Amino acid sequence: MNSHTSDILLPSLAELVPHSGSMLLLDELLHADEERTVTRTTIRSDQLFADDDGVPGWVGIEYMAQTMAAWSGARGFRSGQPPRIGFLVGTRRYECDLPVFPLGSVLTVTAIAEMISEETLSLFACTISVDGREVARADITVFQPADAQAFLQGQQA
């Protein structure tokens, strides 16, 4: 599903997030502007990390990270740039009230940009809600080098 943001029709999540196949854990982009992004996913038995009970609560941090990637992808799309790879540097206080996101649960994930460095580092306040009730929260720092390939090959500090 496409999302409207500031009267701009955004492409699908698959075009905004540099994950593919089963690694793309999100289903839908609901909102993306310069500060806030909201995504949604339904927990299904055929998803990566799922077992008979659902998806472990610790996977919530990846839902948050992919929501931040959608924010970055939407931001790049608006300026004519392709999605960029980012690296989760760390999190402070990831808390999840659920040991497992049960099968059939609909998760709404929100990422709010608290600090954006044009250089490479950004800080986001993230939450996950199920049925309108917040069940997980974290502050996450992301590193997004200008050239991810050079960085991975050790050619960029």
CATH of the domain at 95: 3.10.129.10
Cα dist from 140 to 36, 75, 84, 99, 103, whole Å = 14, 18, 17, 20, 26
The pLDDT of residue 80 is 85
User: Residue 146 domain-assigned?
Assistant: yes
Overall pTM > 0.85 = yes
Cα dist from 143 to 2, 19, 30, whole Å = 27, 16, 24
Q: How confident is the model at residue 143 (pLDDT cuts 50, 70, 90)?
A: confident
131/54 Cα distance (integer angstroms)? 16
pLDDT tens string 80-129: 887 777 777 888 889 999 999 999 999 999 999 998 776 678 889 999 99
Non-local (6+) Cβ contacts of 88 within 8 A are 61, 65, 140, 141, 142
Cβ proximity of 67 and 26 under 8 Å: yes
CA angle 130, 137, 65 (to 5 degrees): 90
User: Residue 61 domain-assigned?
Assistant: yes
Q: Region 54-58: what's the mean pLDDT?
A: 98
The total number of structural domains that make up the chain: 1
User: Residue 25 domain-assigned?
Assistant: yes
User: Residue 116 domain-assigned?
Assistant: yes
pLDDT tens string 36-54: 999 999 999 999 999 999 9
User: Residue 157 domain-assigned?
Assistant: no
122/80 Cα distance (integer angstroms)? 20
